[in-house]
Amino acid sequence: MLLSTSIAAMRQPVSAGTTRPRAWRLEQLERLEQAIAARRDAVLNALASDLGKPPVEAYFELVAVQQEIQLVRSRLRRWMAPRAVGLPVFMQPGWAEVIREPLGCVLVIGPWNYPFLLSLQPLVSALAAGNTVVLKPSEHAPATSALIGELLEAAFPASTVQVVQGDGPVAQALLQERFDHIFFTGGERVGRLVMEAAARHLTPVTLELGGKSPAVVLGDADLEVSARRLVWGKCLNAGQTCIAPDYLLVDEAVQAPLVQRLSQRIEHCFGSEPLASPDLGSLVNQAQFERLHNLLEGARHRGQVLFGGASDADQRRIAPTLIRVDSLDDPLMQEELFGPLLPVLSVSGLDEAIERINQRPKPLALYLFSKQRAAQEQILQRTSSGGVCFNDVVMQVGVPELPFGGVGNSGMGSYHGEAGFRTFSHERSVMRRPFRLDVPFRYPPYAGKLPLVRRLLG
């Protein structure tokens, strides 16, 4: 048995209305917050064990979950409030509104790259919306996955939150169950399998995927600032970030000076021997290391490595590496890299950059470094992506009330803040009417207006 409590039993408190009051939802958030606070050091240790995360990077995962809880707590009353809708004259007197109600029992499948944050952040939204949750953390981050299980099992009864551990076949077995929503974070290949399984029960899905997110650097950009921000965003979590800049499209007039500044910045951050740096994370497993190492060796053989290139199989580490790429057909341009390799392509200007971007599937994030407001508007008008950030990278995900999600191959649906609350809620239409028009109608906003309404109706 995968589940100690059946999906039907987990759905029952939602159907009975137990989870609808705001007080119940706030209680679940309080339970989660206290459980996280009590295991803070254990979380940092687990992330270091699974991904070699430096303390600052690991602490970010903790802070982001706590920030989400605080935001939801402060906004929950407003998000839960019914929204009044005006009626056409021929339907008056009457009253219409939209209420947000829980979906039921939902499934959250977490990823391995930010295994704590990206498992618990959607959990926060699901509980705030009044649902019960089955959570499947990633088996590729075993220490963090085990800790999440211990933490949530101590904080919640199984009728509210259950954690299921296991690999791909376990996830496939879970997907045979009829959930009321499935929230998946991961790669495009598995996302297709999730969507296919969900279709059998007509279960709605949110897919947070990824893709090759481009960064465009135009000739008027501040190269020093651009290099600093690009290196930080690309090397965060050893490049294993779904919205990291996956490749650069650089105005040919500034390619050489930008590469020089990028190289200097990498050395400034990680030293002359980056594989020994305490600030460089590890790749999650040997399979990921081998995949990236093979791409790196191919680029080295073709004479494309501009800077970096060192690797250590025992530590599963690859130094941040700049690689010249001349074509979208290059092996490094075929799939999301998800590592510290950064291809650099030269373009003649913004038009060519946009053309190259539009030749690929829609990315999860798109970055432009330029002082020109007109160039920024061109990016917005002529491209499509999950999100856009100008003159920085990754930072957009840290804005609590900005929806986060993909489009096309990079995903569907969104979360964070109110977007997450809405993802795990059903917007239900409600209309009320009196039996007799000559009976005083007391529902706002039409109370006291019956004579006017009767005249309008003739």
Q: Kindly report the length of the chain.
A: 458
> Which among 67, 118, 21 has a CA at the least distance from the CA of 13?
21
Q: How far apart are CA 286 and CA 162, in angstroms?
A: 30
363's CB contacts (< 8 A; 6+ apart) are: 211, 212, 213, 214, 246, 357, 385, 386, 410
Which region, left, alpha or beta, applies to residue 347 given φ > 0 means left and ψ of -120 to 50 means alpha? beta
Q: How far apart are CA 111 and CA 138, in angstroms?
A: 5
The verdict on whether 153 is a catalytic residue reads no
Pairing, β 205-208 against β 411-412: antiparallel
**Distances from the Cα of 114 to the Cα of 240, 242, 278, 450, angstroms:** 9, 10, 19, 58
Q: How far apart are CA 198 and CA 100, in angstroms?
A: 23
The answer to whether residues 192 and 168 touch, using CB atoms and an 8 Å cutoff, is: no
C-alpha R_g of the chain: 25
**Distances from the Cα of 407 to the Cα of 211, 247, 386, 443, angstroms:** 10, 19, 5, 41
SS3 content of the chain, % helix, strand, coil (to 5): 45, 20, 35
C-beta neighbour count of 19 within 10 angstroms: 20
Question: What's the distance, CA 204 to chain centroid?
Answer: 17
Catalytic annotation, pick one of 208, 235, 336, 389: 208
276's CB contacts (< 8 A; 6+ apart) are: none
> Which among 162, 137, 188, 124 has a CA at the least distance from the CA of 1?
162
> Which among 268, 313, 307, 267 has a CA at the least distance from the CA of 289?
313
What are the residues facing 368 on neighbouring strands? 216, 390
The answer to whether residues 52 and 281 touch, using CB atoms and an 8 Å cutoff, is: yes
Catalytic annotation, pick one of 105, 235, 242, 389: 242
DSSP secondary-structure letter at 15? Answer: H
The verdict on whether 30 is a catalytic residue reads no
Spell out a b/e string for 70-109, using b for 16 or more CB atoms within 10 Å of the CB, else e.
ebbbebbeebbeeeeeebeeeebbebbeeebbbbbbbbbb
The residues annotated with a catalytic role in the active site are: 208, 242
